[in-house]
């Protein structure tokens, strides 16, 4: 039988390797160079975008892959219409997209339109998961946010005509209210990869977003 010290050492080594693997995946996502033609397609779809704004969209796509990596195999909804367009264009590079998914996420990230999700509840969990993970990465309190995370601010910030608009103030007239997404109590003490339980959190619809990725 292994001694306690050997067991602790083995556990520490395993956790260190897992952490390094996670860091490597995050680094690969951060360093990946997207095909330049994706930016051109974005400008075709939204001619008003400047080069700097198009670069912001690509940063949003990169951020979506970061939160998808953290969520592991849990579904994450896409909060931004314009970033979703970029994602669609990336998927068309089939071999490159497969390689990217395999080396950064460890799996193929399927795109599931919101209308094709199994239930409305699945879509709600997906957008709430996106909200919590985005807030965590940007140092925002998900239940009392002082600002919107990039993916949730993107469409309004770039004046995307068919985009999704979120607001901190529920009286502002935006499409979706941030406090409805982040108000739930379903995140405490969960053992899932993203820190969120799969149960309902009583927030009402909290919808918004155009589908998401998952297995």
Check pLDDT > 70 for residue 190: no
Could you tell me the pLDDT band of residue 24, with boundaries at 50, 70 and 90? confident
Check pLDDT > 80 for residue 155: yes
Give me the chain's average pLDDT, please. 78
Greater pLDDT, 81 or 112? 81
**Which pTM value belongs to this model?**
0.75
Residue 128 tokens, joined: 């709430």
Distance set, CA 25 to CA 39, 102, 146, 194 (Å): 24, 10, 30, 16
Check pLDDT > 90 for residue 9: no
pLDDT score at 193: 44
Which residue bears the tokens 């490597």?
A: 24
Cα torsion angle, 106, 107, 112, 116, sign: negative
Residue 185 tokens, joined: 């109590």
Greater pLDDT, 192 or 40? 40
Check pLDDT > 90 for residue 71: yes
Q: How far apart are CA 86 and CA 78, in angstroms?
A: 11
Longest dimension (CA), the chain: 68
Q: Give the residue from 41, 36, 115 showing the smallest Cα distance to 82.
A: 41
Distance set, CA 16 to CA 5, 11, 12 (Å): 16, 9, 6
pLDDT tens-digit readout, 192-208: 444 443 333 333 334 45
Percent of the chain with pLDDT strictly greater than 90 = 51
pLDDT score at 206: 41
Q: How far apart are CA 84 and CA 102, in angstroms?
A: 20
Cα-only R_g, the chain? 18
- Separation of first and last alpha carbons in the chain: 39
């Amino acid at each position: 039988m292994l001694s306690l010290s050997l067991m602790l050492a083995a556990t520490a080594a395993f956790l260190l390797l897992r952490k390094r693997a996670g860091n490597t995946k995050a680094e690969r996502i951060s360093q990946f160079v997207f095909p330049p033609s994706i930016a051109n397609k974005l400008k075709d779809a939204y001619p008003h975008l400047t080069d700097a704004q198009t670069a912001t969209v690509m940063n949003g796509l990169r951020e979506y892959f970061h939160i998808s990596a953290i969520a592991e195999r849990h579904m994450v909804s896409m909060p931004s219409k314009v970033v979703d367009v970029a994602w669609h264009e990336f998927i068309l590079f089939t071999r490159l997209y497969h390689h990217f998914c395999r080396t950064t996420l460890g799996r193929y990230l399927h795109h599931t339109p919101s209308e094709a999700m199994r239930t409305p509840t699945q879509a709600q969990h997906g957008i709430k998961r996106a909200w919590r993970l985005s807030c965590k990465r940007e140092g925002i309190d998900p239940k009392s946010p002082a600002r919107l995370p990039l993916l949730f601010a993107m469409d309004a910030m770039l004046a995307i005509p068919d985009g999704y608009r979120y607001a901190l103030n529920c009286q502002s007239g935006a499409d979706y209210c941030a406090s409805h997404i982040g108000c739930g109590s379903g995140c405490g003490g969960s053992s899932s990869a993203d820190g969120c339980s799969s149960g309902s959190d009583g927030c009402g619809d909290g919808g918004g977003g155009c589908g998401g990725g998952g297995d």
